[in-house]
Structure 1
Amino acid sequence: MKKSVFSEDYRCFLKLLREVRERAGLTQEQLAECLETTQSIISKCERGERRLDIVELRAWCQAIGISLPVFITEFEQALNERG
């Protein structure tokens, strides 16, 4: 069995990262343009191939139109719902 380098919490984080982008109606390409990066970087972050630090996460949230505290609250709720 292949062992994952990601915890279930991190998988939940990645899922939420994509969900909030999609809820905002943004494609990966549009988000990349807002962040002055490439669609490939956005894709790698959403797949977990590249980790975001807190400064980058804040920039993502601003580009998406959600505050960092709201994102963190949603993340905590998703973790709690997962059990």
Structure 2
Amino acid sequence: MGTRVESGIRRSRKARTAPFQKTCDAILERLIEARQEAGLNQREVSVKLGFSHSFLSKCETGERRIDVMELLQLAELYGKSADYFLKG
């Protein structure tokens, strides 16, 4: 299955046609933006939360989905509410 990268977000062909892809892309963009606004790089976040660096990288590129508890941890670290990531 082929992939392409757009705005730093990797997507499979199947994912590009998913009905919620725009929403997923927006959440990933806000996730990256929040980390950058917090002045943190991926390694720093990984160390602070006990995640592997590859885990966070895959989350930010869309290769791996983030569960709600992980999102809450990231939101707290970034000083954002969970709603910030989910807003339309």
More strand by share: 2
Q: Which of 42, 58, 77 is matched with 1:28 structurally?
A: 42
Structure 2: how far apart are the matches of 1:61 and 1:25? 14
Q: Pairwise mapping of residues 1-83 of structure 1 onto structure 2 (< 5 A)?
A: 3-6=13-16, 7-69=21-83, 71-72=84-85, 75-76=86-87, 79=88
Segments of 5+ residues of structure 1 without an aligned counterpart are none
- Kindly provide the amino acid, as one letter, of the partner of residue 15 in structure 2: V
Note if contact 1:31-1:64 (Cα within 8 Å) is conserved in structure 2.
no
TM-score scaled to structure 2, two decimals?
0.73
More helix by share: 1
Segments of 5+ residues of structure 2 without an aligned counterpart are 1-11
TM-score scaled to structure 1, two decimals?
0.77
Structure 1: how far apart are the matches of 2:58 and 2:47? 15
Total equivalences in the alignment? 74
Q: Matched residues, percent identical?
A: 32
RMSD, aligned CA: 1.9
Query: Hey, which bits of structure 1, 4+ residues long, moved more than 3 A?
Result: none
SS in 2 for 1:5: helix
